[in-house]
Structure formats: C-alpha cells, structure tokens
Amino acid sequence: MLDDIKNYFANFDGATDSCRTIVLWVTIAMLIAFIATRVYVVAAGKKSGDEVAAAALRMLNGGWITAAITVAIAVIVAFAACYFTDVANGNDDLFPILFYPLSVLALCIVGSAIALFIKPVKITKIVCGSVCGAALIAVLVCMIVYYASGDAGEAFSNIGLYISAVAVTTATVVFAFLADKDSSPVDTKTVTYAAVCVALSFALSYVRLFKMPMGGSITFASMLPLMLFAYMFGCRKGVLVGLIYGILQAVQDPWIVHPAQFVLDYAVAFASIGLTGCMRNLGVFKGNMRAQFALGAIVACSFRLVSHYFAGVFAFGMYGAGYAADYGIPALANEYFYSFVYQCLYLLPELAIVLVAGTLVLSSSSFRRQIELRIANNNRTVRQPVAPEAPAAEAPAQEAVTDDTVLERTVEQND
C-alpha cells in the first residue's frame, strides 16, 4: 500500500502531474514570501508606530489574499484544461459518462453563486435551486447507468453501502442542525465568502503532497478555508458549502464504483468539513478561538473518517486481501481493519497539517479580529430604527458612530 503512494515533489509524468508539481512549489514559495514580508512589516512597524503598522498589515493581508485568489483561479483553469484534454485523449481514469455531467453540475453551482451574488432575491434562489437540482439528478442517473453497465466494477456489499450512506448522512445533518440554531437566510456576503473559500480549498486540493492508490490525498491544508468559513458562518451553511466542494472533488478526482459510495466518499465526507463550527455554535471554550477551531476540526474530520471508512469497507473491502498477502499482515484481509488503516494513512496527516496551519493563521490578532467582526455581524439582530427627537438648537455636534465602529471597539477591548 505504501509503495503505491504517489508523491508530487518532483513528478513530471504527463501534463497533469507536472502541473501539480509546479503548483506545489509555487504554493511553498508564496508561503515563504508571505511569512518573510509579514515579519519585515511587523519589524518595521515597531519603529513607525502602532497605527502605521496596523495599516501596513491590513494592506499586506489584503494584497496576499488578492494574490491567493488570483493564483487559485489560474490553478483551477489550468487543471480544468488538463482534465478535459485527458478525457479527450481517452484517459482510463476519467470516464466521460461521469466527468461531463459532474462538470455541468459544477458549472451550474458556480453560475448560481454568481447569480445569487448579483441578485439575491427569492426568484433567483428558486431558479438556481431548480437548475442545480436538475443537474444533480442527471448526475445520479448517469452514475446509475454507469454502474449498471458493469464498467464501474462491483462493490463489496451493496446493502452495506446503502445502509451506511443513509445512516452517516442522517447523523451529519442532524448533528449540524442540533449544533447550529442559526436559520438566517443566505445573503450576498455569505455567498461571497463561500465562493472565495471553496475556490481556495479547491485550488489547494491540487497541491498534493501524496496520493493514495485508490483515492484520498495529503494536501497543503486544503480543508482550512472551508473550516474557517464553517467557523464563521456555522454548521448549517458550512455543511452546504462542504457538499458543493465535495461535488467539485468528484470532478477533480473521480473514483466512483457505486452511487451510494459517491454519497459517502464525496457528498457526505466533504460536507462534514462544515461541522468545524460546532464548538463555537455550542459555546464550548467560549472566548478561546483557537481551541474552538481545533476541537471543531477534530470533530469534522472524525465525521469525514467515518464516512470514508464505511465506503472503504463496503465498496473496496475486497482489496484488503491483496495487501495482506503483499505485506504479510493477515489482519489487512479483514475489510473493517483494512479500511480503517487505509483512511488513517491520509486523513490523520491531513488533520495534523490543517491544525498546524489553522493555529498559525489564528495566531494573528488582526485575523482573529476580522473573524470576530464577521461573527458579530452574523449574530447582530436587525432593529427597526426609532424616529429621533428634534435636537435642541444649541446641542453640541456629536461624532456619528456606526454599528461597525461599535463592533470594532468592542472587539478591540476583548482582544
């Protein structure tokens, strides 16, 4: 199993793998440059005063966020071109009956996000929901046809897949609703943040360090943007955005042998990333953002592990016997033990990377302040304005204070 793991530090086997290697080193270079510029700005700010330093840090963070989004879009476009080329050339790993419907669904989701950002009204939501729903139904129909044709191979246990898919999906949805009581509608800012976080996570998912032989990768903290979104906006919206990301992952790296396995390995597994906000929603470790994020990330990855685990048991459990013979480990012949070992080999390092990256990101007081402001804006109740009394003729002029100003002062006092 370990011998079959691919790495992308210097992998130039074809256009797609070459792109992965280049993107990996570009990402590492950008990270080093970001750390270096930030250290320089902080050191220079100590000599020029707090206000100048704060302004410089805001400009630096804004510039790097813009650069990251630009690179993310370029990466997505480049890999999309590689994938379409691979499909046209008859790549054995990409099946047109799955790739094209999933690509159409991804385009419908992206188009819906843009439409909701431009005009977030009820009719737009109905039209976008209908279009995406129809595209999803088409995808499921194509999966059923593909599975019925026999080209997908056979799952280890169809009944096990169906039962576990229903059970894990129900558990994820129920937990999200119990942990998050926020039922506010999706507004323009939410759509904007969601689009940016999905784009960043999707681009980072291309930055692979290692890839397992039958799906699953260790990436450069690809879950982090989605986890931060879930922390800010709650489990319900986080699960929905994670589901969208899972569909995009099915386009990027389709390893599908059964419709229920698609639900477990892509839809539910990546939707569970949205459970990261559970600790903040439940009020656990209130006031300690890093602890809330870390524990929420562990809970989210635990749900993801369970989802992948059952898919591995009931869809790919038969492969354990081959690895047991190759490595002389009889226990791997047991599908339950084999799936657990397989999933842990990439999910535990992936979790460790995202915990380290998340802790470093949340170590920035300015970043925490922005998150707290965003959360405060989400929780702020809308009050009807009261008609003010006519001011006295000689009343002194007072400085106008906006809600955002009050929020910033409150956060600074608590920082």
pTM: 0.76
- Digit-by-digit pLDDT tens for the chain (415 residues) are 555 556 667 777 777 777 778 877 887 888 788 778 877 777 776 666 667 667 777 777 777 777 877 777 777 777 777 767 766 666 656 677 777 787 788 788 878 877 877 777 888 888 988 998 898 888 888 877 877 777 666 666 789 889 999 999 999 999 999 988 877 777 777 887 888 888 888 888 878 888 888 888 888 889 999 999 999 998 999 999 999 899 888 877 777 888 888 899 999 999 999 999 998 888 888 888 999 999 999 999 999 999 999 999 988 888 888 888 888 888 888 999 999 999 999 999 999 999 999 998 888 777 788 888 878 877 663 344 444 444 444 444 444 444 444 444 444 444 4
- Spatial contact of 263 and 170, defined as CB atoms under 8 Å apart: no
